[in-house]
Structure 1
Amino acid sequence: MQVIAGREEDGSFTVQSSSSTVNDLDEAGFAAVARELEESARPRWVFPSVEGVYPVLVAAGLRVERCYDLALAEGLLLAYEGADGQSRSLRAAWARANGEEPPLDATAVELAQPTLFETRVPTLPDGVTVVTAVRRVLAEQERRVAAAGHPDRLRLLLAAESASALAAAEMSADGLPWRADLHEELLTSRLGPRVRAGERPKVLVELAAKISEAFGGRPVNPDSPPSVVRALARAGIEVPAARKYLLKGIDHPAVAPLLEYKELSRLYAANGWAWLEEWVHDGRFRPHYVVGGVVSGRWASRGGGALQIPKVLRTCVRADPGWKLVVADAAQLEPRVLTALSGDRRLADVAAATDLYARLGEALFSGARWVPAADDDRDDRARAKIAMLSAMYGGTSGEAGPLLGLLRQRFPDAVSYVERAAQAGERGERVRSRLGRTSPAPSAAWRALTGGLASDEAGELKARRASRGWGRFTRNFVVQASAADMTAVMLATLRRRLPSPAHLVFFQHDEVIVHTPEASAEEVSSAITDAVTEAARMLFGPACPVRFPMQVAVVDTYADAK
């Protein structure tokens, strides 16, 4: 059974099922009707946008089993058809479905605020209700999917992305368990007492003084990279920037306090007292997730830095009394995805190991005539990781080039897969993930630069660099976007498998956290492992030889998981 539900322009809700249509519902009425339908029919809900409708149901305590997110689907289909950059709003989709040009302001509004497309778009034409528009757009989307090269894969992608949107809304509502008192204690111990906005905490003031003293007493602003670079230059040390990795290798008394200042300053700015007051309430950190917010399909967050929780703060993430956190991390997901995509049987044997890089090091360097550089103290595992990352990201500088060459000799199918994607990108072509996520086209400026019209050697060099740069993007896109496909399917599967009242509370790229009563922790761990296995089967088929292990830890605090 299919049920359409959406918010009309006057703020009321409409729900239409096969047997009835109910109009002019307020939020409480909408939740009551939706609850009755979910319990009696367990339908597939069709929402113009999960983000715009579902939070109302979640706030009322209702979780639906499955849905179809029209806006997310429209965005994926537009990219698939090479029309990315157009508005995915219901109004724009309605116009396209009827062979009309979308209103110009629909595209302009969304491009200006891409995460607010559902609340800041032009109204539907007179006489067209949300339900009417949804039915028309849904039918047109189904036609477009049927015409795709691999419709079954694309259908799986749209279903998984829609389920991910449900999970994202639920995670925002439930929140990640967070001990604000421990966060306060940590800030005070590291930064000193709280200060007024705009002032430096005591420890940062002291470190800034040490930095200036180390530079001979001349004032240096550690918050200003140019100031630091100039100070180093006066000391006879030339660096292009004041980045952490560049400073680490410098022998100067200012470096140690500079590095400490950078670390603590970031903590203060990104997760200090102001962040704590804004984002943590009632023992929960409730960020706003943006499903598919990155072009490769990875999630983003709208404020709060949900996908960048510093390690030092993981001790603040603690399960409630009688509950546990089940933290699961996919081991070396992207190399395994590449193995499955390429069908490289030799690499699949390597991927059977839990530590893929360690096993790859044995396979690459056992019997190989490899002579490391004199100053290279890395082990075989570290070199194998460099080789694999070079294949997926296109690194060729330093030792990366020879290591990639060795990987190409031993595992030609895997390396050829990403190199073909790179070559397509260099030609300005689009590439796709396993399920059909499609890379964007390069810009008009890129095409003008690489169009073979350079009149001198410098122009040709710029063109080659631009071409190779876009090739590195498409090289990685096919792997990273396919990994996003897999995690979307895994999330959809896991959400369905979790025992009540366990629930997802965190997700980033290849890691999930489930908050569960202690008695259900073992069942949740098994559900996570089974969800990954099912996702791999759905993406790559039952005969896929690649193993996708999950490192699962049942802990009281996030810091104990790794």
Structure 2
Amino acid sequence: MTRVHLSRLPGERVRVAEGGESSEIDLGDLASYVAGREVDGPRWVWDDTARWYPLLLAAGVRVGRCHDLRLCHHLLRRAPAVDASLLAGPESSLWDRLGPTVPSDPVLFSSDEAEHLEADLEDARQLAAIATSPDASRLGLLVAAESSGALAAAEMTHAGVPWRVDVHEELLTGLLGRRPPRGARPQLLEEAAGDVRRLLSAPGLNPDSRPELLAALRRNGIELTDTRAHSLRSVEHPVVEPLLRYKKLAHLFTTNGWSWIDEWVRDGRFRPSYQPAGSATGRWSSNGGGALSFPVQVRSAAVADEGWVLVVADVAQLEPRVLAGMSGDRALARAARGADLYQGMVDDGAVATRQHAKLGLLGAMYGATSGESGRMLADLNRRYPTAFGLVEEAARAGERGQVVRTLLGRGCPALGAGSWAESPDAPPADLDDQDRRRRSYGRFTRNFVVQGTAAEWASCWLADLRNRLWTLGADGPLEARPHLVFFLHDEVVVHAPAGLADVVAAEIASAASTAGRLLFRELPVDFPLNVSVVRSYAEAGKPV
């Protein structure tokens, strides 16, 4: 496949390199150039998809394949099966520092160090690093899926989630009152704050201030170290109900209120900014808009266009199924056949109840080895020794201070790197006890191998589905065809003409099966989907 390298140059110029030859074109000619070459199916190689692709999409140009050098550089630099010295050379320190493009960044050709990066030089280093790795085929699949995910992310931002501002504003008015002046609380939120002040005999209290709130609670005989909802519910006092109500409404007001609409909804579309592989495990994060923490309260505003529907698909019990596949545990894979893996374990005679299966399996993946989860582990370990042995070995490796890797070769952050602290199992930064640090790191590595491989499966699913959707329906631009509008770890949402809903659902399922075969080869692992065809996202069902 032809690889066409695009590099930024000063003065809104683009360097195009292909087959050892290079030329320059004006930025204004880029879209027409790419559209003309796209018929040959090249792979576009550039520094950051989020910087190049939106410009093309705005001009109505979709590309089929790319290689995102920034994403792949950081992936390969940490991959245990890659000789990192092969990534060193001219400009490599700049690639080390290159971060993701975010919505607040300047336009494509800002005056920064990336203007001097030569895509063909870095691409040659990355290809050599992959080719000489003993895991070359797996790493090749991973970088292709990662880069395709970056294309999907840009397309989802471009197309946007169909959004009814009138529905959203009606919801806000019903829960909070009319939109307040800038800097003020809406009426119903202020009333809840007043109830909290009255019940705590604190007329000047700002309930948004944690120190003030803890002090006021303490003066009323309520000793707490935090103001989380779980902690507040443990207290018997009249202030608990209005305080919990205030916190819920305040969260809605600040995270998805009128200001959120102003910033993130344009032309009837919610346009969040995604960051593929934004976490250490390869899971996506969000650069803006809060797409990955889509609150239930506002989902009713996500409404398909007239004559269109939202096809929402969740994978049932993704991580346990991935564990079965990556470990090669055929007994667990047999239990995973069908819609409910946990019930399959019961039917297999491994445990007495579905709840026991869930507790034991999740305990094995997340390190809950005591209590009820721990009591389930011994029996399950005997029944599924290969699967349980894989996560146990990953945990022991972490406790020894060693890094672990996913099925396709993504490496985890080292114990001393600090970035593994994004895990909820990570210890406080000031913890000095090395034994406890290593045990905590072992819990992180235990889950990393499974969660990271699940992210790889999801990337392959998304990449294949993206191309399948492009072939459906009209010959027009992205928005005229069935298209992805949302992705969250194990869930996709497709905006599609109503008449194509069944076809889209079938393609989603086929893409899931293809992803399973790509990763787990001859081992048959089912990835059943919970599919809903709805007008509003709030109507979609969720997996158990």
TM-score normalised by structure 1 residue count: 0.85
- The match for 1:43 is 42
How far apart, CA to CA, are the structure 2 residues paired with 1:267 and 1:445?
Answer: 32
Does residue 517 in structure 1 map to residue 497 in structure 2? yes
Does residue 135 in structure 1 map to residue 120 in structure 2? yes
| Aligned-residue offset at 1:411 | 2.5
How far apart, CA to CA, are the structure 2 residues paired with 1:151 and 1:107?
Answer: 22
- The match for 1:59 is 58
Q: Which amino acid aligns with 2:138?
A: R
Residue deviations 1:356-388, cap 9 Å, x none?
A: 234445657755xxxxxxxxxxxx434432322
Residue deviations 1:479-529, cap 9 Å, x none?
A: 111011011111110011111411111111111111111111111101100
- The match for 1:385 is 358
Residue deviations 1:48-87, cap 9 Å, x none?
A: 3212211111111011111211222111111115999x9x
- The match for 1:413 is 386
Does residue 532 in structure 1 map to residue 512 in structure 2? yes
How far apart, CA to CA, are the structure 1 residues paired with 2:47 and 2:8?
Answer: 8
Residue pairs, 1:414-433, within 5 angstroms:
414-433=387-406
- The match for 2:146 is 161
CA contact (8 A) 1:297 1:485 kept: yes
Of residues 458, 461, 481, the one that matches 1:487 is 458
Give the secondary structure class of the aligned counterpart of 2:314: strand
Q: For the structure 1 residues 471 and 114, does the alpha-carbon distance in structure 2 shift closer, same or farther, using more than 3 Å as the test?
A: farther
How far apart, CA to CA, are the structure 2 residues paired with 1:276 and 1:428?
Answer: 46
Residue pairs, 1:472-483, within 5 angstroms:
472-483=443-454
CA contact (8 A) 1:110 1:116 kept: no
Give the secondary structure class of the aligned counterpart of 1:42: coil
Q: For the structure 1 residues 276 and 101, does the alpha-carbon distance in structure 2 shift closer, same or farther, using more than 3 Å as the test?
A: closer
Q: For the structure 1 residues 323 and 364, does the alpha-carbon distance in structure 2 shift closer, same or farther, using more than 3 Å as the test?
A: same
How far apart, CA to CA, are the structure 2 residues paired with 1:246 and 1:467?
Answer: 29
Shifted more, 194-203 versus 175-184: the winner is: 194-203
Does residue 438 in structure 1 map to residue 411 in structure 2? yes
CA contact (8 A) 2:81 2:134 kept: no
| Aligned-residue offset at 1:220 | 4.5
CA contact (8 A) 2:48 2:100 kept: no
How far apart, CA to CA, are the structure 1 residues paired with 2:335 and 2:27?
Answer: 57
Question: Gaps spanning 5+ residues in structure 2: where?
Answer: 420-429, 474-480
- The match for 1:552 is 531
How far apart, CA to CA, are the structure 2 residues paired with 1:53 and 1:38?
Answer: 15
- The match for 2:433 is 462
Q: For the structure 1 residues 272 and 343, does the alpha-carbon distance in structure 2 shift closer, same or farther, using more than 3 Å as the test?
A: same
How far apart, CA to CA, are the structure 2 residues paired with 1:108 and 1:141?
Answer: 16
Give the secondary structure class of the aligned counterpart of 2:412: coil
How far apart, CA to CA, are the structure 1 residues paired with 2:461 and 2:418?
Answer: 38
- The match for 1:32 is 32
How far apart, CA to CA, are the structure 1 residues paired with 2:18 and 2:409?
Answer: 31
How far apart, CA to CA, are the structure 2 residues paired with 1:222 and 1:49?
Answer: 42
Q: Identity over the aligned pairs, expressed in percent?
A: 44
Of residues 114, 122, 142, the one that matches 2:113 is 122
Residue pairs, 1:340-379, within 5 angstroms:
340-360=325-345, 366=351
Question: Gaps spanning 5+ residues in structure 1: where?
Answer: 87-92, 368-379, 447-458
Give the secondary structure class of the aligned counterpart of 1:399: helix
- The match for 2:69 is 70
Shifted more, 490-499 versus 437-446: the winner is: 437-446
Q: For the structure 1 residues 175 and 344, does the alpha-carbon distance in structure 2 shift closer, same or farther, using more than 3 Å as the test?
A: same
Does residue 307 in structure 1 map to residue 292 in structure 2? yes
CA contact (8 A) 2:279 2:285 kept: yes
CA contact (8 A) 2:48 2:101 kept: no
Q: Which amino acid aligns with 1:556?
A: R
Q: For the structure 1 residues 112 and 495, does the alpha-carbon distance in structure 2 shift closer, same or farther, using more than 3 Å as the test?
A: closer
Q: For the structure 1 residues 397 and 251, does the alpha-carbon distance in structure 2 shift closer, same or farther, using more than 3 Å as the test?
A: farther
How far apart, CA to CA, are the structure 2 residues paired with 1:20 and 1:38?
Answer: 19
Count of aligned residue pairs for this structure pair? 520
Q: For the structure 1 residues 150 and 106, does the alpha-carbon distance in structure 2 shift closer, same or farther, using more than 3 Å as the test?
A: closer
How far apart, CA to CA, are the structure 1 residues paired with 2:299 and 2:129?
Answer: 44
Q: For the structure 1 residues 97 and 388, does the alpha-carbon distance in structure 2 shift closer, same or farther, using more than 3 Å as the test?
A: closer
How far apart, CA to CA, are the structure 2 residues paired with 1:266 and 1:100?
Answer: 47
Of residues 484, 491, 503, the one that matches 2:483 is 503
How far apart, CA to CA, are the structure 2 residues paired with 1:112 and 1:35?
Answer: 23
Give the secondary structure class of the aligned counterpart of 1:170: helix
How far apart, CA to CA, are the structure 2 residues paired with 1:460 and 1:250?
Answer: 30
CA contact (8 A) 1:177 1:317 kept: yes
Q: For the structure 1 residues 406 and 251, does the alpha-carbon distance in structure 2 shift closer, same or farther, using more than 3 Å as the test?
A: farther
How far apart, CA to CA, are the structure 2 residues paired with 1:17 and 1:431?
Answer: 37
CA contact (8 A) 1:97 1:136 kept: no
Q: For the structure 1 residues 179 and 440, does the alpha-carbon distance in structure 2 shift closer, same or farther, using more than 3 Å as the test?
A: same
| Aligned-residue offset at 1:311 | 0.8
TM-score normalised by structure 2 residue count: 0.88
| Aligned-residue offset at 1:102 | 4.5
- The match for 2:242 is 257
- The match for 1:455 is none
Residue deviations 1:396-443, cap 9 Å, x none?
A: 354332233443343222221111101111111111111111101111
Residue pairs, 1:205-244, within 5 angstroms:
205-215=190-200, 220-244=205-229
| Aligned-residue offset at 1:341 | 1.4
CA contact (8 A) 2:82 2:130 kept: no
